[in-house]
Amino acid sequence: DTAVSQTPKYLVTQMGNDKSIKCEQNLGHDTMYWYKQDSKKFLKIMFSYNNKELIINETVPNRFSPKSPDKAHLNLHINSLELGDSAVYFCASSPGGGGAIYEQYFGPGTRLTVT
């Protein structure tokens, strides 16, 4: 009955590889997000989708490509992985169209290590 789930929980890979992280929410929310948490715990938005449409695209290298097959899923594909991509990636969801009053519900995170 997990609300926001991510797979895998841990991902270790080599530079240059391509990898994907999957996210699913069973809360019926319209909006989903990807955040990156660096080694100093700093969290920053990467992308947001509302009903499968991209609404936020921060300054993120175009090696990162989100895909939302339906409003319950938001996957993150990363091409040509670099050492600096090592971080914890969090998926989140919220009701409504992104209005300020709604809180976001976070997944458990995916720890990506690039060697």
Q: How far apart are CA 57 and CA 115, in angstroms?
A: 27
Binding piece for another protein, criterion CB under 8 A, among 17-25, 31-39, 61-69, 73-81:
31-39
Residue 23 has a CB neighbour count (10 Å cut-off) of: 25
Number of other CB atoms surrounding residue 29 within 10 Å: 20
Check binding of 12 to another protein (CB under 8 A): no
25 binding another protein? (CB under 8 A):
no
Residues that bind another protein (CB under 8 A): 4, 31, 33, 35, 40-45, 48, 55-56, 58, 90, 92, 94, 96-109
